[in-house]
Structure 1
Amino acid sequence: MVLGIASVPMTRMLQLAWTGVFPRKQVPDRSLLDPSVYPMRVLPQDLDLLMHVNNGSYLQLMDVARFRHVAEMGGTALGRQKQFGAVVAASTMKYRRSLKLFDRFELTTRVLGWDERCFYMEQVFTRREKLCARGVVATRFLHSRTNDRIMPATVVELLAEAHGLASPPESPALPDDVAAWARVVDVAPRGRVTV
């Protein structure tokens, strides 16, 4: 029984590792602000004792979808070249409807915007076009060797350059609920930013 409990999240962790080591190819014309939709299915290891997707499993599924999203916009290759990667600074979830064993669902990931400190992403779980859960994630980019923070504006400029754009896009205004959440969890800018 101990082995069974310990191995529950293993498949999603392997999926995440696979996604990181062998990322998807860049999707032509996929921009920073375009959403990506990942069709998935609930597996036995995603479930808890109530036989619906465990709250922790949602976060693992979101990790896998974010890696895929970044790869599809060309961010994985760019991160390897420039030696930086994304880490989660904060996340929040709202659960609406349960997902159960072998349910097919879609996980839509999109960048809502960015500021001087973080990128803000929304990840929405839907089944038959009905909302099941919504997550908001604040991510930071760090240099893989020095652990120095890479400013979001720098990442946006590098992505724009890689896509052949004359100028980088501007961040859309964050939705009010996301901006308020970022302030409450202390990931929003604190005033004057130093590089």
Structure 2
Amino acid sequence: MHMFFRTLLHVLFLSRRRPDLAHDDVARTNFITLPTDLDINRHMNNGVYFSIMDVARFDMLVRNGVWKTMRDKDWYPVVASETITFRKSLQLWQRFTIESRITGYDDRAVYLEQRYVRPAADGTPEIYAQGFIRARFLRKSGGVVPVSELIEVFGAAGGGGLPEWIERWGADVALPPTRAEAPSIWPSEVEQRA
């Protein structure tokens, strides 16, 4: 529930008071590690990283004008895939910034990079964690908004060109479409059936 209030705080109040962004800009969203973010090891829980990244993406969407256009068109974003790599832990009450940037797109999805950063001893931003998100846009009336339509409305943010490993990752982790079969069979179960 606390993430709901964090999202409302950013989307309804803080994001609207911050400078507008172009689609290619890096959005920087500031946070503090709260007691509700911690796990049994007293550092930020790994699942909370993804939730806070959601809030930072909403901040970016509000500030670059995409959120308003999506609402006008009855579209909404969904995460299709995401991955994160951790480097350093965030402790209670530590301030940190999430840097969010559109990396590019393919024919089915938009890709974003998000970094958790804190100032190093010399003051330069230091990466604590880095995540990559593969997102799609859906219509409230049903169906997917094609990337070609997104480009027509918003332009070609990120230039479209993706690093080869991100394209491969997007394809490798994709599940079958929602209307296709997707049985849960583990490799050991296949061997037992043979």
Q: TM-score range by the shorter chain?
A: 0.7 to 0.9
Give 1:65 deviation, angstroms: 0.2
TM-score normalised by structure 1 residue count: 0.79
**Secondary structure of the corresponding residue to residue 104 of structure 2:** strand
2:128 to 126, 132, 149: 132
Give 1:123 deviation, angstroms: 0.5
Unaligned 5+ segments in structure 2 are 120-124, 176-194
Tell me how far apart the structure 1 counterparts of residues 110 and 61 of structure 2 sit (CA, whole Å).
Answer: 12
1:35 to 22, 26, 35: 26
Larger radius of gyration: 2
1:84 to 62, 75, 80: 75
2:49 to 51, 58, 82: 58
Unaligned 5+ segments in structure 1 are 1-9, 161-167, 188-195
TM-score normalised by structure 2 residue count: 0.80
2:130 equivalent to 1:142? no
The one-letter amino acid paired with 1:150 is V
Aligned residues: 169
Shift in CA distance, 171/153, structure 1 to aligned 2, threshold 3 Å: farther
Tell me how far apart the structure 2 counterparts of residues 90 and 22 of structure 1 sit (CA, whole Å).
Answer: 29
1:120-167 CA distances to partner (integer Å, 9 max, x unpaired)? 0011001112211111111100011x221001221222124xxxxxxx
Q: Which residue of 1 aligns with 2:182?
A: none
Q: Which residue of 1 aligns with 2:168?
A: 180
1:10-62 CA distances to partner (integer Å, 9 max, x unpaired)? 2222212454566833844x222211011211111110010000011101100
Alignment of 1:1-195 (within 5 A): 10-19=1-10, 24-25=15-16, 27-28=19-20, 30-128=21-119, 129-144=125-140, 146-160=141-155, 168=156, 171-186=159-174
Tell me how far apart the structure 1 counterparts of residues 150 and 59 of structure 2 sit (CA, whole Å).
Answer: 17
Q: Which residue of 1 aligns with 2:184?
A: none
8 Å Cα contact 1:23/1:76 also seen in 2: no
Tell me how far apart the structure 2 counterparts of residues 112 and 31 of structure 1 sit (CA, whole Å).
Answer: 14
Tell me how far apart the structure 1 counterparts of residues 94 and 113 of structure 2 sit (CA, whole Å).
Answer: 21
* Root-mean-square deviation over aligned CA pairs: 2.0
Tell me how far apart the structure 1 counterparts of residues 160 and 146 of structure 2 sit (CA, whole Å).
Answer: 17
Tell me how far apart the structure 2 counterparts of residues 76 and 18 of structure 1 sit (CA, whole Å).
Answer: 15
**Secondary structure of the corresponding residue to residue 150 of structure 1:** coil
**Secondary structure of the corresponding residue to residue 148 of structure 1:** coil
Calculate percent identity across the aligned residue pairs: 30
